[in-house]
Amino acid sequence: EDKVVQSPLSLVVHEGDTVTLNCSYEVTNFRSLLWYKQEKKAPTFLFMLTSSGIEKKSGRLSSILDKKELFSILNITATQTGDSAVYLCAVYNNNDMRFGAGTRLTVKP
């Protein structure tokens, strides 16, 4: 059965720290991997990754995909309290999109 596993489940850091969130997957017919940020309400789309080794970057956030080892990482540098959220990873194959359970990041002042 297809699955997406995120780690850690939760993480507490202080402002200024750098964090790495992990997403591993086992899906048939992989097409893409997506990252979202969910604060109190709706998930917000961050990145879509389709090719191995190509880093996607947006400000302090970056992500990369390894299709050989079947995982992706999301890096956040110089964390701020506004980065506190649940970060969701999702993997799309030809028919379906599976979400991981998310990593809850808390950034303390």
The CA distance from 62 to 49, in Å, is 11
The CA distance from 46 to 34, in Å, is 7
Judged by CB under 8 A, the chain residues 27 through 66 that form the site for other proteins are 31-32, 34, 41-45, 48
Count of residues near other proteins by CB under 8 A: 19
Q: Does 74 bind other proteins (CB under 8 A)?
A: no
Q: Does 97 bind other proteins (CB under 8 A)?
A: yes
Q: Does 70 bind other proteins (CB under 8 A)?
A: no
Tell me the sheet residues that pair with 7. Answer: 22
CA 94 vs CA 7, 18, 50, 89: distances in Å: 25, 34, 13, 17
Which residues contribute to the site for other proteins (CB under 8 A)?
Answer: 31-32, 34, 41-45, 48, 88, 90, 92, 96-102
